[in-house]
Amino acid sequence: MKDIDPASLSPEELIALVRQLRQQLAERDHEIESLKRQLAGQPAPPAAAKPVRGTLPGEPEGSSPGSQEDLLAQLEKIYPEGR
């Protein structure tokens, strides 16, 4: 979405924008709930079936690229005083 200056919009345009954003938010919430239900319905693969990955320098032990732990570790490196 392009940058919009709310001060330059008429009240009708603001109302339309809010409705559009609410609709997009509702669609995303629905998609997230659907994905959560799909994820909950799938059993976790056994440990032996998980692919073995090498670790990169500076990567925390036991984390896989793209995992929540990996992303948190990256954020900690970028924003060490974020807490």
Q: Please state the pTM of the whole predicted model.
A: 0.43
Residue 68 lies in a domain: no
**What is the C-alpha to C-alpha distance for residues 37 and 34, in angstroms, rounded to an integer?**
5
76 contacts 82 by C-beta, under 8 angstroms: yes
Question: pLDDT at position 43, please?
Answer: 64
Amino acid at 79: Y
Residue 76 lies in a domain: no
Residue 23 lies in a domain: yes
Question: pLDDT at position 48, please?
Answer: 55
Residue 55 lies in a domain: no
What's the total number of domains in the chain? 1
Provide the residue count of the chain.
83
pLDDT tens across the length of the chain (83 residues) = 567 787 888 889 888 889 999 999 999 999 999 999 888 887 655 555 555 554 455 545 555 566 777 777 777 777 766 54
69 contacts 60 by C-beta, under 8 angstroms: yes
Residue 81 lies in a domain: no
Query: What are residue 33's phi and psi, to 5 degrees?
Result: -60, -40
Residue 13 lies in a domain: yes
Question: pLDDT at position 31, please?
Answer: 93
Containing structural domain, residue 11: 7-42
